[in-house]
A and B are shown apart, each in its own frame.
Chain A
Amino acid sequence: MIWFIAKRLLWMVITIWVVFTVSFLLMHAAPGGPFDRERKLTPEVKANIERRYDLDKPLPVQYFHEMFRDLHGDFGYSYNLGDFSVNQIIAAGLPRSATLGILALVFAVTLGFCAGVVSAVRRGGLLDFTLMSLATIGIALPSFVIAGMAIIAFVFVWPIFPAAGFGSLRQAILPSLCLGAPFAAEIARLVRTGMLDVLGQDYIRTAYAKGLPTRTVILRHAMKGAVLPLVSYLGPTIVDILTGSTIIEQIFAIPGLGYHFVQSALNRDYTLAMGVVLFYTVLLCSINVVVDIVYTVLDPRVKVE
């Protein structure tokens, strides 16, 4: 077990290093720099700003400087939001994205799980067909369409939620529903498949043969097996959902982390872009290790190799 964890950690370090290097090179290869303006800076002023941010040094020097700094958990100052350090920006954005993400997750897991189980049990029935059609639509529709429809319905036609903003539970509900909807759909499909798989197993037949009522068979015996595919799906999904969605956050003006993933690159905000990418990578890798360990505990068939 310890060997397994050590090996996974080693791979994690290598992954992060590769991500760091590729992001660094891509970012510096993109045309333009963080201090390009429509009104061009005078060369002297530009040179001084670049000096302040170490951008006057050759690229390899910048690379090692940055790596050294990042290794200490200090991502430096944002170029575009110069009043803040990248650490401050992440620390401010993450809880907001996470708030939304947790609510979305609770919604997605509850709804998705129930829908999946019901569909599997009523396989081929009208209910199954309806639920799975909804799930397909949920996966297929881009989130801005869902959000747009939700805003028309619940902000303007039937005004029960505020249009946007962050700071109260009422403001958080609509965006978390929109954020969670595609995940709920995907979970429903996963759970349904998992359930169907389990329902065909011998031990379920045995349970029925013992004369157990359907409810007990489903709740006590079948559902446990159906959870497994969900666990491996939830690992990366949790990271995804907690670090925020660019689109949902923009539509509902949520000051989360999602916005920076795209905008920092467009702004050539080297430090911020690097910061969020590294943060995301570390989080994703760690969760994957945790999921692998949990899996070995949950499913006795899986052995640590």
Chain B
Amino acid sequence: MLFNPRNLIAWLALLALAGATVWAISFSPDPPADFTFANEAEVKSLDPAIITGQLEGRIVDCIFEGLTRWDPQSLEPRPGVAESWEISPDKRTYTFHVRHNAKWSDGTPFTAADFLFSHRRALDPQTGCDYSYIYWTIKNARKYNTLRVAAGDPVEIELNKPADATSFARGEVLRGKLVSVEPPFPKDVATEEEDPPKRTYVVEIAGKKRTFQPGDGENGCQFVLLDFSEVGLKAIDDYTYQITLENPTAYFLQVTGMFPLYPVQKKCVETFGYPGWVSAENLVSNGPFRIGSRKIRERMRLVKSDTYWGRNEVRLNSIDALVIESRTTALNLYLTGKVDWIPAPPPAIAQQLLAEKRDDFHPMPEFTIFFYRLNVKKKPLDNKLVRQALGLAMNKQAIVEGVTRAGEVAARSFVPLVIRKYAKYANYEPGQCGTYNPKEAARLLAEAGYPGGAGIDTIPLLANSDDTRQMVGELIQRQWKESLGINARLVNQEWHAYLDTMNKKDYSIGAGAWIGDYIDPNTFLGMFVSGGTDNQTNWSNKDYDRLIADAAKEQDDQKRLQDFHDAEQILMDEMPVIPVYVLVTRNMVRPYVHGFFENALDTHPLGRIWVDAEARNRLLHTEGLR
């Protein structure tokens, strides 16, 4: 038997298996970092203009720095790239002085022009910045961002780019005066067009009239935008940056510390385009850390930057952000000493952790509310009395004690009360709704013409598929049945389906959570103005709209808070939303980590934290982990 294909196949298979096994068991493990934490998923992007989420923020806050940064404890603005600033008497103009020693991670000096470039890029409709609305307090920023122009406006026309241009590099820009736009835009910049039509622009450029139509045609162009010089952003010189606002915006210095306003380097962005510029090899940043390496869904290694102006205050040399999607897994890693911080253990175990009275778990109320939206166009929710009855028949205390159980606070207002922890808002009086009162609820329902729930069909109660939301829904279902005789049917939809239903306003009652962007009532109350994008309840109230608009213009802090109080009182009386409870932070942080603070926005800049290595060794040793 010289050659037998059967034997050959057997040998080949064995050889392949042996080779594969050798390959499979050869690893080159990374040495551990100074500080390791579990991030909950792979970040969607490292581009500060594109991201929206908290887990992206954790990384981006390490590698970039804005004009100001947030104090992790008091949430007060602290000097960032800007070492100081002045505010004009009318509170509309902010002049920032950029540090002379600020540098990019490639060593090039940092100038005010970098902010101008970055902020224009975030407002450029082409960028698709989710968070661009945070810029809209800046003069004309909303117009520029949403392509609003009217006859007579100075405009800039971005011509189509050559096919090989990188994303974010702009096409040739022409400037002129808009003669006409057909069809015209709605007068009020706040009125949104669900389905923007195709438009034709006639622009006078150097005395000649030219026609433009966004698109690929003969008169094609990318965009016709308001001339950027009309927007309240100016680089006065290399180290002076000036921002002019539409209205005095009391919380603006918080906004300048948010990641949508972080600077990005023009050279890097325009050379590599998106997503090339955010790759570990190409990314140039200006924060306390830079990206060392990035392995998809495995880990991100951040390395201390040696060009950061405040590098002497940065005590960690490296940080590992592990991608751990399962909260149980994250907890296991934490308990076995492999990570130093997990943002949230599984909800089911929070109560047990609290009962253990651990020194590394201190939940604190967050600036986040769990609430129900009531679609006021659906019967019987069009009746204010029914909405109030539903609110009063909800035993919120039973929900936080029976379901969530991690220290959540039953809510009577839409703005979480934790706002009062912060100096400027210590005496904010929230507008409140009534406490649990099933008798009064039944009376209101009868007054509305539905005694004992008679005449009310089963109401669908929409939530996304989430264990906690489902359990809360079940409890409310029972409470409404018992006190009001109203039948609710739980509808659970998977996340994107749920968002779709809510956006189409195809629901009656829908669960939702809202996370404040900054500490100010505006981040919660601004959403319910008539026609607001996130209102979604079809509710509209002229007095409410006026109060929110007044608050925006008001220079006096006390009067401003009074406006918000009055507005919130209307919201709580009219009850297009029922606030249920205020969420809590759930960080678990090893006690040898210093400089880590709980705060209402659950934001934890890692630039100034440090690890007591000796205490760590001692602790892990006592727990038998080393």
Chain A residues at the B interface, C-beta cutoff of 8 Å:
30-33, 36-45, 47-49, 52, 77, 80-84, 88-89, 92-93, 96, 98-100, 102-103, 105-106, 151, 155-156, 159, 162-169, 172, 250-253, 255, 259, 266-268, 294, 297-298
B44 and A49 within 8 A (CB): no
A43–B130 touching, CB < 8 Å = no
Report A-chain residues with C-beta under 8 Å of the C-beta of B494: 266
Q: Of the 9-residue stretches B304-312, B320-328, B418-426, which lies at the interface with chain A?
A: B320-328
User: In the complex, what's the smallest C-beta–C-beta distance from B261 to chain A, in angstroms?
Assistant: 16
**For the complex, what is the distance from the CA of A295 to the CA of B43, rounded to whole Å?**
45
The interface-forming segment of B71-79, B156-164, B191-199 is B191-199
A47 touches B196 (CB 8 A): yes
- A163-B336, A169-B25, A259-B297 are contacts. A31–B501 as well, Cβ < 8 Å? yes
With A36-B499, A40-B534, A82-B50 known as contacts, the answer to whether A48 contacts B128 (CB < 8 A) is yes
Cα(A221)–Cα(B121), bound, Å: 74
Q: Which of the residues A43, A77, A106, A165 comes within 8 Å of B21, measured between beta carbons?
A: A106
Contact A159 B336 (CB under 8 A): yes
B217 within 8 A of A: no
Q: Does B333 make an interface contact (CB < 8 A)?
A: yes
| 19 A-B pairs in the complex with CB atoms less than 8 angstroms apart | A40-B534, A43-B192, A43-B193, A47-B196, A52-B167, A81-B296, A82-B50, A83-B45, A83-B278, A92-B296, A93-B297, A102-B20, A102-B21, A102-B23, A159-B624, A162-B338, A163-B333, A165-B322, A253-B323
For window 1-38 of B, CB contacts with A under 8 Å fall at: 5-6, 9, 17, 20-21, 23-25, 27, 29-30
- Cα–Cα distance between A5 and B143 once the two chains are bound (Å): 62
**Chain A residues with CB below 8 A from B30, complex form:** 167
For B47, the chain A residues whose CB sits under 8 A away are 82-83
Contact A42 B42 (CB under 8 A): no
Whether, in the assembled complex, B496 has its beta carbon less than 8 Å from a beta carbon of chain A, the answer is yes
Q: What chain A residues lie within 8 Å of B562 (beta carbons)?
A: none
Contact B325 A250 (CB under 8 A): yes
Beyond the given A40-B533, A165-B338, please list 4 additional residue pairs across the A-B interface where CB-CB is below 8 A: A41-B533, A42-B533, A82-B45, A251-B329
Q: Which residue of B lies closest to A81 (CB)?
A: B42
Q: Report yes or no: B534 in contact with A39, Cβ–Cβ below 8 A.
A: yes
Among the interface residues A45, A83, A253, which one has the most CB atoms of the partner chain B within 10 A?
A83
A32 in contact with B46 (CB, 8 Å): no
Instruction: State which residues 282-309 of B face A: CB under 8 Å.
Output: 295-298
A103 to chain B, nearest CB (A): 5
Partner of A36, one of B127, B298, B503: B503
- Say how far B543's CB is from chain A's closest CB, in angstroms: 25
Given A43-B194, A44-B147, is A163 in contact with B329 using a C-beta cutoff of 8 Å? yes
Complex interface: chain B residues within 8 A of A83 (CB): 43-47, 275, 278-279
> Interface digits, B490-505 against A, CB 8 Å rule (1 contact, 0 not)?
0001111111110100
In the A-B complex, the 6 residue pairs with the smallest Cβ-Cβ separation, listed nearest first, are A32-B496, A255-B297, A32-B500, A163-B332, A49-B128, A255-B298
Contact A45 B129 (CB under 8 A): yes
How far is it, in angstroms, between the C-alpha of A253 and the C-alpha of B325 when the chains are bound?
7
The answer on a CB contact under 8 Å between B338 and A77 is no
A31 engages B296 (CB within 8 Å): no
Which residue from chain A places its CB closest to the CB of B497 in the assembled complex?
A31
In whole angstroms, what is the CA distance A176 to B403 when docked? 36
- B540 interfacial contact with A, CB 8 Å: no
Most buried by A among B20, B132, B145: B20
Are the C-beta atoms of A98 and B296 separated by less than 8 Å? Answer: no
Query: Which residue numbers of B lie inside 8 Å of A, CB to CB?
Result: 5-6, 9, 17, 20-21, 23-25, 27, 29-30, 42-47, 50, 52, 125-130, 132-133, 145-147, 167, 192-196, 274-275, 278-279, 295-298, 322-326, 328-329, 332-333, 335-336, 338, 493-501, 503, 512-513, 533-534, 536, 624
Instruction: Give the distance in Å from the alpha carbon of A49 to the alpha carbon of B130 in the complex.
Output: 9
A48 touching B275, Cβ below 8 Å? no
**Residue in chain B with minimal CB distance to A173:** B25
Cross-chain contact A99 with B24 (CB below 8 angstroms)? yes
Count: A-B pairs, CB below 8 Å: 179
Contact of B329 among A48, A250, A267 (CB under 8 A): A250
Give the Cβ gap from A78 to chain B, nearest Cβ, in Å: 9
User: Contact partner of B497 among A30, A92, A165, A253, CB < 8 A?
Assistant: A30
* A42 and B133 contacting across the interface, CB-CB below 8 Å: yes
**CB <8 Å contact, B298 and A30:** no
Chain A residues, Cβ within 8 Å of B46: 83
| Pairwise interchain contact B21-A38, C-beta atoms closer than 8 A | no
Residue of A nearest to B223 (CB): A48
A102 lies within 8 A of B24 (CB): yes
Chain A residues, CB < 8 A from B146: 42, 44-45
Q: Report which of A106, A253, A297, A298 forms a contact with B17, defined as CB distance below 8 A.
A: A106
A152 to B533 CA separation, bound complex (whole angstroms): 48
Query: A162-B336, A253-B323 are contacts. A103–B295 as well, Cβ < 8 Å?
Result: no
Nearest CB in chain B: distance from A171 CB, A: 8
With the chains together, A259 CA to B296 CA distance in Å?
12
CB distance from B247 to the nearest CB of A (A): 19
**A297–B195 contact, CB under 8 A?**
no
Nearest CB in chain A: distance from B20 CB, A: 5
Task: Please name all residues of chain A whose beta carbon is closer than 8 Å to the beta carbon of B495 when the two chains form the complex.
Answer: 32, 266
Residues of B within 8 A of A44 (CB): 125, 145-147, 196
Which of B133, B325, B338, B533 contacts A163, CB < 8 Å? B338
Which of B128, B499, B503 is in CB contact (< 8 Å) with A52? Answer: B128
For residue A143, give the distance in angstroms from its CB to the closest CB of chain B.
Answer: 14
Q: Give every chain B residue within 8 A of A167 (Cβ-Cβ).
A: 27, 29-30, 298
Q: Tell me whether B9 and A297 are in contact (CB under 8 A).
A: yes
- Is A255 a contact of B323 with CB atoms below 8 Å? yes
B496 and A253 form a contact (CB under 8 A): no
Q: Report chain B residues within 8 Å CB of A255.
A: 295-298, 323
Residues of B within 8 A of A33 (CB): 496, 500
Contact B503 A40 (CB under 8 A): yes
Q: Distance (Å) between the CB of B148 and the closest chain A CB?
A: 9
Measured CA separation A55–B94 after assembly (Å): 40
**Docked CA distance A155–B27 (Å):** 21
Contacts of A52 in B (CB 8 A): 126, 128, 167
